[in-house]
């Protein structure tokens, strides 16, 4: 991936809110909880940036499928599948969903932290 594309991806991921909370839809144990993380460590931020790239790739992959789905039940099925894939990608990077959500919340609240994550995502 070239530098311009990486920079665009980093900016769009943050600006479009793709670092928002993950939720596993359609499960009895919805994973929307946040882990309170005010100051993520550099290691957490590195894992988070990698997970953000993964989550945004899944979102980009599923967007056309969502737009092509006919009717609300079909759209919901696409959302559930996409959410599950996003959760798998986050967990494959050594993060829990509450940890990912907690860092997302911290990134949205702190402009300096957001800039740091944008730099890490674009690397």
Tens of pLDDT along 16-55?
444 456 654 444 444 456 678 878 999 999 999 999 888 8
Into how many domains does the chain fold? 1
pLDDT over threshold 50, residue 82: yes
pLDDT over threshold 80, residue 3: no
- At residue 17, the pLDDT reads 47
Asked whether residue 32 is domain-assigned, the answer is: no
Q: What is the pLDDT of residues 62-80, one digit of tens each?
A: 888 888 999 999 988 998 8
Asked whether residue 34 is domain-assigned, the answer is: no
Range of the domain at 118: 3-21+41-122
- Run of H or E residues at 60: helix 42-68
Asked whether residue 7 is domain-assigned, the answer is: yes
Asked whether residue 73 is domain-assigned, the answer is: yes
Contact 26, 100 (CB under 8 A): no
Give 7 or 71, the one with higher predicted confidence. 71
53 to 12, 13, 70, 100, 117: CA distances (angstroms): 11, 8, 28, 13, 11
For helices 111-122 and 97-109, angle between their N-to-C axes, nearest 10 degrees? 120
Asked whether residue 35 is domain-assigned, the answer is: no
Asked whether residue 28 is domain-assigned, the answer is: no
Asked whether residue 91 is domain-assigned, the answer is: yes
Asked whether residue 118 is domain-assigned, the answer is: yes
Count CB-CB contacts under 10 A for residue 52: 27
Q: What is the pTM of this model?
A: 0.74
- At residue 15, the pLDDT reads 44
Question: Which of the residue ranges 8-17, 36-45, 75-84, 111-120 would you say has the lowest mean pLDDT?
Answer: 8-17
């Amino acid at each position: 991936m070239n530098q311009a594309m990486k920079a665009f991806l980093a900016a769009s991921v943050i600006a479009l809110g793709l670092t928002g909370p993950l939720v596993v839809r359609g499960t009895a144990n919805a994973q929307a909880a946040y882990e309170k993380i005010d100051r993520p460590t550099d290691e957490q931020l590195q894992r988070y940036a990698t997970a953000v790239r993964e989550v945004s790739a899944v979102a980009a992959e599923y967007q056309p499928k969502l737009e092509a789905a006919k009717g609300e039940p079909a759209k919901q099925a696409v959302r559930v599948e996409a959410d599950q894939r996003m959760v798998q990608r986050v967990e494959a990077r050594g993060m829990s969903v509450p940890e990912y959500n907690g860092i997302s919340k911290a990134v949205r609240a702190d402009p300096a932290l957001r800039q740091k994550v944008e730099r890490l995502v674009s690397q």
